[in-house]
Amino acid sequence: MHRPASVWYLAVILIVLALGGLAGAYGFLSDPSGVGMGMAGQLDRLPVPDFTLPGVFLFVAMFLFPLFLVYGLLARPEWRTAAKLEAWAKAHWAWVGSLLLGTGLALWLIIQAFYIGFSWPIQWFTAFLDASILVSSLAAPTRKHFRKP
């Protein structure tokens, strides 16, 4: 099956996001105080006692989920459990998941900006990845590739 360049680009961006998510999760889970990541001074601005919960979020939402979507985008497995979602969206579940991830990542960045500001280079890079996910997901060739009748 021929995949448009926009689908390959989306897969690569998701892999880059997953690698960053793994690095962030490791940093926060191995040192929940945030000292190792240079974030200890931000902890008093957050509604959590340490960085364990953000680390778990990074591991699940920004490492495991993007890798799961890469599998779905490239292998395009058909699962009965996803049939209702696909019927509603008229698109493969992995495409819908990519849009949901892009939207969720935008919300994550907005919440970060609210609590700790938006000044670290990693935030700008993550915003670039998020924009890339949304643009490549919404690109006409990608939508056509994942469209369901």
pLDDT for 76: 95
pLDDT for 83: 86
Query: Considering its fold, how many domains does the chain have in total?
Result: 1
Which residues lie below 8 Å from residue 78, measured CB to CB, with a gap of 6+? none
d(CA 28, CA 24): 6
Q: What is the pTM of this model?
A: 0.92
pLDDT in tens, 20-74: 999 999 999 999 999 999 888 888 888 999 999 999 999 999 999 999 999 999 9
Residue 137: phi, psi to the nearest 5?
-65, -40
* Least confident interval from 30-34, 115-119, 137-141, 143-147: 115-119
User: Stretch 3-14: mean pLDDT, rounded?
Assistant: 98
pLDDT in tens, 85-112: 899 999 999 999 999 999 999 999 999 9
Domain that holds residue 88: 5-146
